[in-house]
Structure 1
Amino acid sequence: MYSIKQVQLISGLPASTLRYYEKEGILPEISRDGGGRRSYTEEQMDWLRFVMAMKDTGMTIEEIKTYLELALKGEDTIQERRDFLVLHKEKVEDQMAQTQNNMEKIIQKIAFYDLVVMGKSIY
């Protein structure tokens, strides 16, 4: 079991974000110890890591809730969950391609400035 302080250290997320995720229902069933402090299981930590990965790749809280609702319905939704993640993966791939395209433009501009700084004529 992990305290909220330990989860903060492990995940890098502030306690306010953890409480928000709990309030929004994307960190469900967080138990409390005798003193009323949150206590996280290893399974909840794994789920939190998944949530963080999805957030880092642009998935919204609402989309994460939708995915969780499907997961909570059990094995009957495996195909739906797979399809959901395939669509998200495609969005991420599109974003990565656009980022790579933008990176190439940045590299070209840096190369242009390198020539100018070295005193090379560009015209």
Structure 2
Amino acid sequence: MDQSFHEAKYTVKDVSEITGLTKHTIRYYDDQQLIPFVSRDGRNIRLFSDHDLDWLRMVHSLRISGLPISEVKHYIDMCLQGDDTIPQRAELIAKQEEELEAKIREYNLQLMHIKKKKAYYASVSKGQQDDAWNPVNNKSECGEKYEIPEHIMTH
């Protein structure tokens, strides 16, 4: 592997500009030991290599997917242990994929509701209908209703 790939050459400010991450986030990831090989110069300034940027990209991707810091640390530890942990890493990633897909389904459902409301308010704004969805107006057709389970309705 090219030695320059491991040569420490970027400051936190540089890494922030390169990645778009805040300096605070970069320092936090390093403080949490999620980027295992970050160097420091004689003045204790963090210096990152291209290799460190690869770790950072992976860590940030896992965090954005919703993986908790503790699980990211566990994943990093497994990476550092080598190929023997590939099955466990694959399992962790598969589980995170399932969780992320569930979140995406929920977000898509919420986006659909928001789009309906946006169209509704465009119609109300043009005077094409009254604002029946505002609970303040006490209208029975106030948007989508909760489905009340039978056992609760019989109370």
Return the TM-score normalized by structure 1: 0.89
Aligned counterpart, 2:94 = 86
Residue 43 (structure 2) pairs with residue 66 (structure 1): no
SS of 2:47's equivalent in the other structure is strand
| Aligned-pair CA distance for 1:35 | 4.2
Aligned counterpart for 1:100 among listed residues 93, 108, 126: 108
Divergent runs of 4+, >6 A: none
Aligned counterpart, 2:47 = 39
| Aligned-pair CA distance for 1:34 | 4.2
CA–CA distance in 1 between the matches of 2:75 and 2:34? 9
Segment of structure 1 superposing worse, 84-93 or 29-38: 29-38
Return the TM-score normalized by structure 2: 0.72
CA radius of gyration, larger in? 2
Aligned counterpart, 2:56 = 48
| Aligned-pair CA distance for 1:43 | 1.2
- Percent identity over the alignment is 33
SS of 1:105's equivalent in the other structure is helix
Aligned counterpart for 2:21 among listed residues 13, 19, 44: 13
State how many pairs are aligned.
Answer: 123
CA–CA distance in 2 between the matches of 1:43 and 1:118? 56
Segment of structure 1 superposing worse, 39-48 or 27-36: 27-36
Does structure 1 retain, via aligned residues, the 8 Å contact 2:12–2:27? Answer: no
Cα distance change, pair 121–7 in 1 and its aligned pair in 2 (3 A):
closer
Task: Report which structure shows greater RCO (CA 8 Å, sep ≥6).
Answer: 1
Alignment-mate amino acid for residue 125 of structure 2: V
Aligned counterpart, 2:148 = none
Higher helix share: 1
